[in-house]
Amino acid sequence: MAKTVAKEAFPARPRSVSTRKDAARAIVALLEKLYPDAKCALSHQNAFELLCATVLSAQTTDARVNSVTPELFRKYPDALHMAEANRSDLEQILRPLGFFRAKAKSLQELSMSLVEKYDGEVPHDLESLVSLRGVGRKTANVVLGNAFGVPGITVDTHVGRLSRRWGWTRSMDPVVTEKDIAVLLPPEIWTDTCHRIIDHGRQVCHSRKPACEECALTQVCPSYSLFMS
């Protein structure tokens, strides 16, 4: 049975960037085989829907977000409709997500920001996206990579955790982690690789007790000995 180790335990990390790149790409190659069809788990038809769904996904599951967004976007299909929504009606739709009052407020403030700054259209560059109310780098990179095809590294809890276990970074800071990953992997695979890391984190490399016995990455994972010793 796998041993549970402290979340701050780090594997030995090669000093050479080229060595770290080779190790990272070995992991990426296996992830490609394991999760060839990995994609964004948030249902969406356009950039506005994805932006809203990503904001709503904080502190809840993607599946739960997907359960409320069909009605949400049927009633409020764009930024102008969302900005002008009755707050109580919006809260009722979002109630299953928890923190529904705060999330209703966030969606309306975000939509107002879109209307005021960009005529209701979602911008397709990082600087503009993070200028919107309630949008950080993680949300911006989700939208860039999945709605606009612009390479982005989405450092959620899974990407951060696995990147540390694989020696890609030693930082708990998502911005630093993003920069460390960017050094190791070419931009054209950033978006798909993040989807695959998220799938692996959800299915195998769990937070408290990773399922190392079931993992196909044991031969290339520098943390394997930490969990199995």
Residue 75 known to be catalytic: no
Please give the Cα distance from 36 to 39 (Å, whole number): 9
List 21, 75, 156, 179, catalytic entry: 156
List 138, 180, 192, 199, catalytic entry: 138
Please give the Cα distance from 115 to 26 (Å, whole number): 45
Find tokens 């939208």 and name the residue: 143
Signed CA dihedral, 54, 59, 65, 69: sign only: negative
Find tokens 């394997």 and name the residue: 224
Residue 22 known to be catalytic: no
Find tokens 């994972």 and name the residue: 221
H helices present in 84-217, as ranges: 87-94, 100-118, 126-130, 137-147, 157-165, 174-184, 190-203
Residues with a known catalytic role: 138, 156
